[in-house]
Amino acid sequence: MGTAIAFYVIAACILGFAVLVISTKDTVHSVLFLVLDFLFVAALYVLLGAEFLAAIQILVYAGGIVVLYLFVVMLVNLKRPPEAHADPHRKTALGFGLAAAVLAELAAVAVYSANTPARPIVEAAAVPVTGNTEVVGWMLYTSYLIPFEIASMLLLVAMIGAIVLAKREL
Partner 1 sequence: MIDIFLIPLLKIVIVLNATLVAVSYLVLLERKVIAWAQSRLGPMRVGPYGILQPIADAVKLMIKEDITPVRADKWVFTAAPVISMVPALIVYAVIPFGPAVSLFGRRVPLYITDINVGLLYIVSVASVGVYGIILAGYASNSKFPLLASLRASAQLISYEVAVTLTLVSVILMSGSLSMVSIVRAQESSHLWYAFAQPLAFVIFIIGSLAETNRAPFDMPEAEQELTGGFHTEYSGMRFALFFLAEYANMIVVSSVATTLFLGGWLRPFPNVAMLGFLDVVPSWTWFLVKSFFFLYVFIWIRATLPRYRYDQLMRIGWKVLIPLAIANLLVTGIVKVVLS
* Residue 24: exposure state from Cβ atoms within 10 A (0-12, 13-18, ≥19): middle
CA 67, distance to chain mean position in Å, is 15
Candidates 21-29, 80-88, 106-114, 155-163; binding stretch for partner 1 (CB under 8 A): 21-29
Regarding 29 and contact with partner 1 (CB under 8 A), the answer is yes
Q: Give the separation between CA 64 and CA 161, rounded to whole angstroms.
A: 20
Instruction: Check binding of 45 to partner 1 (CB under 8 A).
Output: no
Whole-angstrom CA distances from 127 to 98, 114, 120, 135, 142 are 40, 27, 12, 7, 10
- Does 133 bind partner 1 (CB under 8 A)? Our answer is yes
Residues written for the chain = 170
Q: Would you give the DSSP letter of residue 118?
A: P
The whole-angstrom separation of Cα 116 and Cα 110 is 10
Interface residue with partner 1 among 6, 13, 32, 139 (CB under 8 A) is 32
Among 33, 41, 62, 138, the residue binding partner 1 under the rule CB under 8 A is 62
Report if residue 82 touches partner 1, rule: CB under 8 A.
no
Q: Which stretch binds partner 1 (CB under 8 A): 7-15, 22-30, 93-101, 103-111?
A: 22-30
Is there binding between residue 43 and partner 1 (CB under 8 A)? no
- Give the footprint of partner 1 on this chain (CB under 8 A): 26, 28-29, 32, 35, 39, 51-52, 54-56, 58-59, 62-64, 67, 70-71, 74, 131-133
